Amino acid sequence: MPRIIDLQDESTCALGDCIAALEQQGFDPREEESLMHAAGWLRRLGNDRDFLAEMMLEELKGPSGGEEDGSSYGPQVIMLSPQCSTFYLRANFWPSRSEHCFRASGQSTFSYELPHDHNFSFLTLGYFGPGYASDYYEYDYEAVEGIVGEKAGLRFIERSCLSPGKLMLYRAHLDVHSQIPPESLSVSLNIMHSDGAQGWLDQYKFDVEKDEISGVLSPGGAEVFLRVAVGLGNREALDVAEHFARSHVSHRMRMTALEAQAGILDPEGRDALWRRAENSGSLLVAAEAKKRRRELARA
List pLDDT tens digits, range 205-246.
Answer: 999 999 999 998 866 667 778 888 898 888 898 999 999 999
pLDDT for 219: 61
The 3-state DSSP class for residue 89 equals strand
pLDDT for 214: 95
Which of 46-50, 103-107, 166-170, 277-281 is predicted least confidently? Answer: 103-107
**Which residues are 125's β-sheet partners?**
167, 189
138-194 per-position pLDDT tens digit: 999 999 999 999 999 999 999 999 999 999 999 999 999 999 999 999 999 999 998
Instruction: Please state which architecture CATH assigns to domain 3-216.
Output: Sandwich (2.60)
**Which residues are 122's β-sheet partners?**
170, 192
pLDDT for 261: 93
pLDDT for 75: 64
**Looking at residues 119-148, what average pLDDT do you find?**
95
Residue closest to 89 by CA, chosen among 231, 171, 14, 189: 189
pLDDT confidence bin for 200, thresholds 50/70/90: low
Is the CB of residue 178 less than 8 Å from the CB of residue 135? yes
* Percent of the chain whose pLDDT exceeds 90: 68
DSSP state of 169: E
Q: Is the pLDDT of residue 198 over 70?
A: no
pLDDT for 232: 87
- Say whether pTM exceeds 0.85: no
More confident: 136 or 255: 136
Is the CB of residue 59 less than 8 Å from the CB of residue 31? no
pLDDT for 253: 86
pLDDT for 63: 63
Amino acid at residue number 237: A
Other beta carbons within 10 Å of 287: 16
DSSP state of 73: B
pLDDT confidence bin for 250, thresholds 50/70/90: confident
Concatenate the DSSP letters of all residues of 108-163 into one string. Answer: GGGTBT--B--SS-EEEEEEESS--EEEEEE--GGG----TT-B---EEEEEEE--
Q: Is the pLDDT of residue 42 over 70?
A: yes
69-78 per-position pLDDT tens digit: 434 445 689 9
pLDDT for 38: 98
pLDDT for 192: 96
Q: Residue ranges of the domains in the chain?
A: 3-216, 221-298
Is the CB of residue 122 less than 8 Å from the CB of residue 190? yes
Biggest alpha carbon distance in the chain?
68
Cα 84 to Cα 42, 191, 195: the distances in Å are 16, 11, 10
How far apart (Å, rounded) are the C-alpha atoms in residues 186 and 178?
Answer: 16
Which contiguous run of DSSP H or E holds residue 212?
Answer: strand 212-216
Query: Across the chain, what does the average pLDDT equal?
Result: 90
Q: How many residues does the chain have?
A: 299
Is the CB of residue 245 less than 8 Å from the CB of residue 260? no
